[in-house]
Amino acid sequence: MPPTLILIRHAQAEHNVSNNIPDPELTPLGKEQAAALSAHLQKRLPGSLDPELIIVSPFRRCLQTATIAFDWLIDAESGRSKVPMVANASWQENADKPCDTGTDPTLVAPNFPHIDFSTLDPVYPDKTSPAASLYHYTREALLGRAQSCLKELRSRPERVIAVVSHSAFMRQAVTGCWYMNADYRIFDFADAEGDDSAPLRLVQWDETKAGGMGRSLEVGVELGEGLPETLSDAVPAEDKKLPE
């Protein structure tokens, strides 16, 4: 059976103040949000929803959120995670603004020894060159990247996989759902048998329709909505401001 997915948006980060902050870290409020998420997940997940793999966007705000939200899975003595945590560039944010562009992983990875960076795409953090076409800010590239993400997850042997990613990518390319900071949604694959000729779709659990933390909008959007058709059209627009 394909895995159940727990899709999590990072907690509040410094780019809520300015989009010009490169690869921003969590704010003090963001750290509080991630800690609250940790307390919630420790009550909600044990048992049938124990994550067997945690995939993390390599942006600082996601690495920090995963570290705090899943702190109970990190061994205090060794500093290693009891469940594999893997940095994956395919789950990074859409645009190439400073706040949505990552940092050289050799500068970041030493601060997160519990997260595996060994399989990170070597092109990262490039998002604009021909070699980085997978990460271009266009509708075709983003929807294609989302499908690649889902196909990869669908083929995994784990029963439950958690992903710490970004609002715009998950909303516009993966699920069509809004995610507030440090909120999550749970999905199963719509077609358990799989059909390689059709795009993979997800079906959300009813109990997370407003987000697992109850913070997110129930209204959905059409996948691809608002994404630029070409790079020349890709003038990053400010995300619609919603209450944090």
Active-site annotation, residues: 10, 166
- Please, which residues have CB within 8 angstroms of residue 64's CB and are 6 or more apart in sequence? 10, 11, 25, 26, 30, 31, 34
10 Å CB burial of residue 17 (0-12, 13-18, 19+) is exposed
Q: What are phi and psi of 179, to 5 degrees?
A: -135, 120
- Please, which residues have CB within 8 angstroms of residue 147's CB and are 6 or more apart in sequence? 199, 200
CA distance 225 to 237: 13
CA distance 205 to 144: 24
